[in-house]
Amino acid sequence: MPLKLYAHPFSSYCQKALTALYENGTPFEMRVLAYDDPQIMAEFAALWPIKRFPVLVDGGRTVVEATIIIEYLGLHYPGPVALLPADPRAALEVRMLDRFFDNYISTPQQKVVFDSLRPEAERDARGVADARAMLDTAYAWLNRHMAEREWAAGDSFSLADCGAAPSLFYADWTHPIDPAFAHVRAYRQRLLARPSFARAVDEARPYRPLFPLGAPDRD
């Protein structure tokens, strides 16, 4: 039975899981979530009532959270690219950076986007300002961190880079990375050039008109 990924190509957390799948050429069936397809949405809600995607189904097993999906793939469907190092100390560094991208880049980025979808009267100006301030702080920290590195943790592409790629991709659309953060901008370009992530970005191109803040004419 093939692995099934319930996902949407334009979703950042889905691109994180897709990047890992493409790194290793892991076969899977994409179950594209569409709000106008009640059948797939019901199937998805039955699997994961929290209704956040991606969700991986492996036979009778349901695996949620993009990071855990990538760890699961590494354990059960390993390929030529080990996205988590075998050495537990090196793996801890990878997990730490993975948390950084989810919590301090993706979360504030989503806050700004989701707020823009609310009716004017329900917007959270203070929360959005805090989210933008967090992005500036996170960019500054990352700029120092990436000064002499190619990838986020260790010497090779890892789980942390799978998370960094869509996080920085959309964060730059939402809250542009200041040119002063040259190391972050260069890292984002390296991620865009990585074939696995480039494929995920290409597959999502048709959905760019859906970006609530307006997708820039680049990338």
Ligand X SMILES: N[C@@H](CCC(=O)N[C@@H](CS)C(=O)NCC(=O)O)C(=O)O
Q: Which of residues 66-105 bind ligand X (CB under 6 A)?
A: 66-67
Is residue 29 exposed (0-12), middle (13-18) or buried (19+ Cβ within 10 Å)?
exposed
Closest CA to 173 of 214, 126, 143, 125: 214
| Cβ 129 to ligand X shortest distance, Å | 21
Question: Could you tell me how many residues of this chain bind ligand X (CB under 6 A)?
Answer: 9
Q: Which of residues 154-173 bind ligand X (CB under 6 A)?
A: none
Tokens of 3: 């692995």
Determine the interface stretch with ligand X among 10-18, 39-47, 72-80, 86-94 (rule: CB under 6 A). Answer: 10-18
Rounded Cα distance, 194 and 46, in Å:
35
| Cβ 65 to ligand X shortest distance, Å | 5
Nearer to ligand X, 150 or 202 (CB): 202
| Cβ 179 to ligand X shortest distance, Å | 27
Neighbouring residues of 185: CB distance < 8 A, sequence distance ≥ 6: 172, 177, 179
| Cβ 122 to ligand X shortest distance, Å | 16
Rounded Cα distance, 109 and 103, in Å:
10
| Cβ 49 to ligand X shortest distance, Å | 12
Residue 77: what are its φ and ψ, rounded to 5°? -135, 55
Determine the interface stretch with ligand X among 7-15, 23-31, 38-46, 149-157 (rule: CB under 6 A). Answer: 7-15
| Cβ 162 to ligand X shortest distance, Å | 11
Nearer to ligand X, 11 or 158 (CB): 11
Determine the interface stretch with ligand X among 11-19, 21-29, 193-201, 202-210 (rule: CB under 6 A). Answer: 11-19
User: Does the protein bind ligand X through residue 52 (CB under 6 A)?
Assistant: yes
On whether the CB atoms of residues 19 and 162 are closer than 8 A, the answer is yes
Q: Which helix (H) or strand (E) holds 44?
A: helix 38-47
Is residue 62 exposed (0-12), middle (13-18) or buried (19+ Cβ within 10 Å)?
middle
Rounded Cα distance, 129 and 93, in Å:
30
Interacting residues toward ligand X by CB under 6 A: 11-13, 51-53, 65-67
